[in-house]
Amino acid sequence: MNTADLIKIRRNLHEIPEPGFQEYKTQHLLLELVASFPQAHLQIRKWETGFAVKVAGSHPERIIGFRADIDGLPIMEENDYPYVSGHEGYMHACGHDFHMTIALGALERLAETPIKDDVVFIFQPAEEGPGGALPMLDSEIFSSWRPDVIFALHIAPELPVGTVSSKPGLLFANTSELFIDFKGKGGHAAYPHLTHDMVAAASSFVTQLQQIVSRRVDPLESAVVTIGKITGGFVQNVIAENARLEGTIRTLNPQIIDQVKKHIEQIAKGHEISFDCSIAIDYGSNYYQVFNDEHYVQKFKQIVETENVNWKDASSAMTGEDFGYMLKEIPGFMFWLGVDSVYGLHHSKLDPDEDALEVGVNIVEKTIRSL
């Protein structure tokens, strides 16, 4: 596969972003492409909307795993190139189109020239939510093809093409989604004293949440509480009987996330009393931190240094990744791949530089051959 092929595949995938566990077209396209590779050493196992491909080694003693996530995000794309998302309201705004393309590029090369060990390429659904890694770990794929070492990459818009970055230890945060539903008494906008206004309750709640990180979490720890969506009411002159907040909690220390949840629950109790309403909290999906194995990161750094690729020591980030669950059970690492986009991850104008595809394929192939 040459650079033009990689770009074509990436653009085709970019056009069909799908929500977690609904990646039907994506799975179909990926499997069609895998079917066009030399088949002699390949074996495929499907799981939900994902799958894994094993490339049989000549004298296997280990299994090396590489994981790519395959879902899109509920974001309306604002780019105007010809291969813009064809699924309105969804976009590959977290680079999973790159992750999949790079996995395919490396898989094709391994299918042509396998190594001594077995290699498993894992195409995992639902990274953005509700989380595919944890249930996939319990599947037949991981019981029969359990890797001895596993790695994955994530695009980094802020890094130039030709740079990769990682670190031993904690790379990504612990996360929990956060959904808060308010139910009170609605009514006529002119009679607020006869109602329990859920728009007011939800607004006050958002304000109170800001106090958790600044006043309840130890300043030497790190935490984020973000509300990304607020909904409530139906019309301008009716006091709302329902409101909903949607957000996420991030911490670098797994224990701190429980403290943050406890404080959110205390705020909820206070608001139930002061706004005379009921509040239901749902923590959605929770991701375990991405913790890189020191030995494999050092080895990866040495591999990078033999290629024409720059290395940058990474800092821990508040991003989340359910790949953390795989690293909890299997030694390995995740790394950032520079794609040089003015707009960042989860932005409707994210526009990664496609020159990074070739860099990604080379480094993933080289790493698999050298680990």
List binding-site positions for Mn(2+). 94, 96, 128, 154, 346
- Under 8 Å between Cβ of 291 and 170: yes
Nearest to 171, CA basis, from 253, 325, 291, 296:
291
Q: Which is nearer to ligand L5K734KM, 283 or 311 (CB)?
A: 283
Among 90, 182, 287, 300, binds ligand L5K734KM (CB under 6 A): 287
Least separation in angstroms between residue 69's CB and ligand L5K734KM is 9
CB-nearer residue toward ligand L5K734KM: 50 or 320: 320
Q: Is the dihedral of CA 258, 260, 266, 268 positive or negative?
A: negative
Known catalytic membership, residue 69: yes
The answer to whether 130 touches 284, Cβ cutoff 8 Å, is yes
End-to-end CA distance of the chain: give it in Å, rounded.
23
Nearest approach, Cβ of residue 342 and ligand L5K734KM (Å): 18
Q: What is the dihedral of CA 331, 337, 341, 345, to 10 degrees?
A: -10
Tell me: does residue 248 bind ligand L5K734KM (CB under 6 A).
yes
175 binds ligand L5K734KM (CB under 6 A): yes
Rounded Cα distance, 187 and 346, in Å: 37
Q: Which of 34, 141, 180, 345 binds ligand L5K734KM (CB under 6 A)?
A: 345
Question: What is the distance between the alpha carbons of residues 154 and 169, in angstroms, rounded to a whole number?
Answer: 16
Q: Is 128 in the site for ligand L5K734KM (CB under 6 A)?
A: yes
Nearer to ligand L5K734KM, 20 or 184 (CB): 20
State the DSSP code for 192.
Answer: G
> From the candidates 18, 117, 127, 128, which is the catalytic residue?
128
Long-range Cβ pairs for the range 295-300 (8 Å, 24+)? 295/331, 296/149, 296/151, 296/331, 296/332, 296/333, 296/371, 297/166, 297/167, 297/168, 297/333, 298/168, 299/370, 299/371, 300/151, 300/166, 300/333, 300/335, 300/367
Contact yes or no for 205/230 (Cβ under 8 A): no
Beta carbon nearer to ligand L5K734KM, 163 or 195: 163
Write the DSSP symbol of residue 308.
Answer: T
Residues 183-202 that bind ligand L5K734KM (CB under 6 A): none
Indicate whether 156 belongs to the interface with ligand L5K734KM (CB under 6 A): no
Point out which span in 35-43, 80-88, 234-242, 313-321 binds ligand L5K734KM (CB under 6 A): 313-321
Q: Which of 18, 23, 69, 241 is catalytic?
A: 69
Asked if 91 interacts with ligand L5K734KM (CB under 6 A), we say no
Give least dist CB 94 to ligand L5K734KM, A.
5
**Residue 320 touching ligand L5K734KM (CB under 6 A):** yes
Residues that bind ligand L5K734KM (CB under 6 A): 94, 128-129, 154, 175, 177, 248, 285, 287, 319-321, 345
Active site residues: 69, 128
